[in-house]
């Protein structure tokens, strides 16, 4: 389930985030600034972080977490060493249009968090933070994506946001299947 959230603000990550939220728009910079949007998603998994994080540390598993309708594949030859500065290339189809995407790992702090940022792809901005918190032997896997799209709010509302929400709903379902879930 997705719900509206406040505009993106710099500050403590995850304040008030529960399950998944989408919404909120902010701006980057001053005059003529790019409108940014935020999506957060959270799922509580029955397995400890020591079992969950290694799944995310293998970039090829992103193929398992991505719906088939995107025809997503990792192009970077393996094994991919996850570290700050690591570049990962992907190919996908969005609404039938072939797209190449390159992400760079900009933060790598196993087993707690990592951040990937789009360097080439369909978005004006894409910054995706993954967090893993252990609670009573379970793992809360959280995502926070800050993004900007060409065409702004209307394009986001009609085309982009619905697709991103579907992708993260699928991702949570796969993670529940792989690691069990605890109502998240």
CATH (domain of 50): 3.30.530.20
Residue 11 lies in a domain: no
Residue 13 lies in a domain: no
Residue 12 lies in a domain: no
Q: What is the rounded average pLDDT for all residues in the chain? A: 86
Residue 1 lies in a domain: no
Its pTM stands at 0.82
pLDDT digits (tens, 9 = 90+) for 130-181: 999 999 999 999 999 999 999 999 999 999 999 999 999 999 999 999 998 7
Choice among 46-50, 68-72, 111-115, 180-184 with the minimum mean pLDDT: 180-184
> How many domains are there within the chain?
1
Residue 66 lies in a domain: yes
Measured CA angle at 143 (ends 49, 63), to 5 deg? 80
Residue 3 lies in a domain: no
Domain that holds residue 138: 20-179
CA distance 25 to 33: 12
Residue 53 lies in a domain: yes
């Amino acid at each position: 389930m997705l719900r509206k959230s406040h505009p993106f603000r710099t500050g403590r990550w995850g304040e008030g985030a529960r399950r998944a939220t989408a919404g909120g728009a902010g701006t980057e910079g001053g005059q003529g600034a790019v409108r940014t949007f935020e999506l957060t998603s959270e799922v509580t998994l029955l397995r400890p972080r020591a079992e969950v994080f290694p799944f995310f540390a293998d970039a090829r598993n992103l193929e398992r977490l991505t719906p088939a309708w995107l025809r997503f594949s990792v192009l970077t030859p393996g094994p991919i060493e996850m570290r700050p500065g690591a570049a990962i290339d992907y190919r996908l189809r969005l609404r039938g249009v072939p797209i190449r995407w390159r992400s760079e790992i900009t933060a790598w702090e196993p087993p707690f968090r990592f951040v990937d940022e789009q360097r080439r792809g369909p978005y004006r901005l894409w910054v995706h933070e993954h967090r893993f918190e252990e609670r009573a032997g379970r793992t809360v896997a959280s995502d926070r994506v800050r993004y900007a799209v060409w065409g702004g709010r209307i394009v986001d509302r009609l085309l982009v946001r619905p697709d991103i929400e579907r992708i993260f709903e699928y991702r949570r379902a796969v993670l529940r299947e792989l690691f069990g879930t605890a109502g998240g």
